[in-house]
Amino acid sequence: MLQQFLFFTILMGFLITVLLSPVFIPFLRRLKFGQSIREEGPKSHQKKSGTPTMGGIVFLISITVTTLVMSGKFAEPSSKTLMLLLVTLGFGVLGFLDDFIKVVMKRNLGLTSRQKLLGQIVIAVIFYLIYRQSGLSSDLSIPFTDITLHLGWFYIFIVIFWLVGFSNAVNLTDGLDGLVSGTAAIAFGAFAILAWNLSQYDVAIFSVSVVGAVLGFLVFNAHPAKVFMGDTGSLALGGAIATIAILTKLELLLVIIGGVFVIETLSVIMQVISFKTTGKRIFKMSPLHHHYELVGWSEWRVVVTFWSVGVICAILGIYIEVWM
């Protein structure tokens, strides 16, 4: 019965996105909300210029409606449900502002890095204050050990680092058709299993709502993409998965389950450090998915490979938590 409930939650999220997208995509086209492609990116991406962006709005609507409706059927929406929606929609609004500046105001870089970072920190601090007020644990468990760190108010630095770090990591990964949609579905699915195993049903319902919503978006975002999620979607998904890790007290396990996002971010950091210190590049281009494009892989091959790595990371994360 409970498994059927989760299945219908995924189905609801999927159907809302699939039904809204054919209406929303032409609306974005009429508003001329088309993606601008960076000239320094792979040349093959120039043909994507003008593809509608801000599609993340669609699955954010789906996630919100599905979570509230299905949470209401299972039990009243909990404080964890509301915190998850607060962070997800907060980062979504921040991403929307970034996209809006890029598309409407024709400033290709969107918000400045300082403005974006400030917005992310403000949302993280608000979440932390609500988290503390709810009486939730500020302990940090170290995987593979019995060590638990009692951080108290210092836990705020973990919260800020995780929310800012993973929202940006997912944002960096969003560079190929369907890449983030697929890897996010896999990672959120893993956390849904873990949350259910921990009897955190409110978090599990939210997680499967995301799975259904992004799989519905993938129908239109798979290569060749008819719509991009934009920062509206990627920042929201990154903030959401970091929040799930915090609420389930599996913060460090996110590094493994979200391994694709971590690897993509590390590739950018390594590239920058190498170029600034030696004047040489480690990769042909970063993030890492662009490197594989430039060595001759097709876009679809890169995406499927990264999805496969995401599945391995998810299975490994579940194995570590449940069986080790």
Write out the binding residues for Mg(2+). 171, 231
Query: Can you tell me whether residue 60 is helix, strand or coil?
Result: helix
Nearest residue to 188 via CA among 212, 217, 168, 157? 212
Distances (CA, A) of 151 to 134, 139, 141, 148, 182: 16, 6, 11, 9, 34
Secondary structure, 3-state, 113-149: HHHHHHHHHHHHHHHHHHHHHCCCCCEEECCCCCCEE
Known binding positions:
171, 231
Strand residue runs (E) in 88-215: 139-141, 148-150
Rounded CA gap, 306 and 113, in Å? 27
Helices 201-221 & 230-247, crossing angle to 10 degrees?
A: 160
The length of the chain in residues reads: 324
End-to-end CA distance of the chain: 28
Strand (E) positions, the chain? 139-141, 148-150
